[in-house]
């Protein structure tokens, strides 16, 4: 496949910001690319005529992340825990398309998330640590589930220092509370409300147990409202 065709087609779409912690907006379209996901920095497209490729198109103020991610993928090498990086263009990164469904969509659709998936994320993090990286920004949209196994998708923050504790809280939440919602399809607005609460509360003084208690109160009120409908 020649990259100039991809570059020409991707110029028909624009990825714009909606805020630092909000998902980007995609404007325009191309009949040769299908948008398969959006994040806070970029949107991902699948090339119709070469479906094993995925093109991660960055918003204009995040183009510096392209070279950072390329370096991360170089350090990771070939691993079953992460996609493969093939190259880049002016505003996009070319990686392998990975089959599966994000844990975010699993919650939306009530699809069971097995314990093996949680262990796979742990193994992937240990693998990245051993490669001299700092795996972070691991959240529901960055974990892909396929045939009961998990793979990590976004490595853009693996060169940063510090621990954002996202995976720590997700793992604790899964262990302590997932059985209460396992197999239940959660409304989109509930998941988004929880995500925004976490982003607002995120600080050195963040207390996980207090956050969970607030969520419990929230869900109790939600159940009461449903009983009146």
On the question of a common fold for 14-96 and 101-198, the answer reads no
**Within a 13 Å sphere around the CA of 193, how many CA atoms are in the beta-carbon half?**
11
Partners of 93 in beta bridges: 56, 88
Q: For domain 101-198, give the fold.
A: Transferase(Phosphotransferase); domain 1 (1.10.510)
Instruction: Write down the pLDDT at residue 159.
Output: 96
Instruction: Write down the pLDDT at residue 67.
Output: 95
Instruction: Write down the pLDDT at residue 151.
Output: 97
Any idea which residues carry the catalytic annotation? Answer: 137
Closest CA to 140 of 119, 163, 115, 118: 118
Tokens 């060169």 locate to 159
d(CA 191, CA 103): 11
Instruction: Write down the pLDDT at residue 13.
Output: 92
List the chain domain ranges.
14-96, 101-198
Q: What is the pLDDT of residues 181-220, one digit of tens each?
A: 899 898 888 888 777 766 665 555 555 555 555 555 555 5
Stretch 128-148: mean pLDDT: 95
Closest CA to 103 of 37, 161, 40, 163: 37
Question: Per CATH, the architecture of 14-96 is what?
Answer: 2-Layer Sandwich (3.30)
Stretch 125-140: mean pLDDT: 96
d(CA 194, CA 74): 34
Q: What is the pLDDT of residues 43-89, one digit of tens each?
A: 999 988 889 999 999 999 999 999 999 999 999 999 999 999 999 99
Tokens 């997932």 locate to 178
Instruction: Write down the pLDDT at residue 133.
Output: 98
CA 190 vs CA 29, 48, 113, 121, 218: distances in Å? 30, 33, 18, 24, 10
Stretch 94-106: mean pLDDT: 95
pTM of the model: 0.82
DSSP the chain: --HHHHHHHHTT-EEE-S-TTS--EEES--TTEEEEEE-SSEEEEEETTSTTEEEEEEPGGGTTHHHHHHHHHHHH-S-TTS--EEEE-SSEEEEE---SEEHHHHHHHT----HHHHHHHHHHHHHHHHTT-------GGGEEEETTEEEE---TTTTS-S---HHHHHHHHHHHHHHHHTTPPPPHHHHHHHHHHHHHH-STT--HHHHHHHHHHHHHHHHHHHHT-
Q: What is the pLDDT of residues 141-159, one digit of tens each?
A: 899 999 999 999 999 999 9
């Amino acid at each position: 496949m020649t990259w100039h065709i991809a570059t020409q087609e991707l110029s028909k779409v624009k990825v714009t910001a909606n805020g630092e912690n909000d998902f980007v907006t995609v404007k325009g379209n191309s009949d040769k690319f299908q948008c398969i996901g959006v994040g806070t920095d970029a949107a991902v497209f699948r090339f119709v005529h070469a479906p094993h490729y995925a093109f991660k198109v960055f918003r204009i103020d995040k183009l510096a992340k392209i070279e950072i991610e390329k370096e991360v993928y170089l350090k990771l090498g070939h691993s079953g825990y992460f996609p493969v990086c093939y190259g880049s263009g002016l505003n996009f990164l070319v990686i392998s398309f990975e089959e599966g469904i994000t844990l975010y969509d699993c919650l939306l659709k009530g699809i069971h998330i097995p314990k093996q998936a949680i262990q796979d994320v742990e193994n992937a993090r240990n693998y990245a640590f051993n490669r001299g990286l700092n795996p972070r920004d691991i959240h529901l949209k960055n974990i892909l589930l396929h045939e009961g196994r998990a793979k990590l998708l976004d490595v853009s923050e693996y060169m940063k220092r510090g621990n954002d504790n996202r995976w720590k809280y997700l793992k604790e939440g899964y262990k302590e509370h997932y059985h209460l919602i396992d197999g239940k399809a959660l409304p989109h607005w509930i998941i988004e409300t929880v995500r925004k609460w976490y982003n607002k509360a995120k600080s050195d003084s963040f207390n996980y147990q207090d956050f969970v208690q607030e969520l419990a109160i929230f869900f109790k009120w939600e159940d009461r409202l449903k009983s009146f409908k």
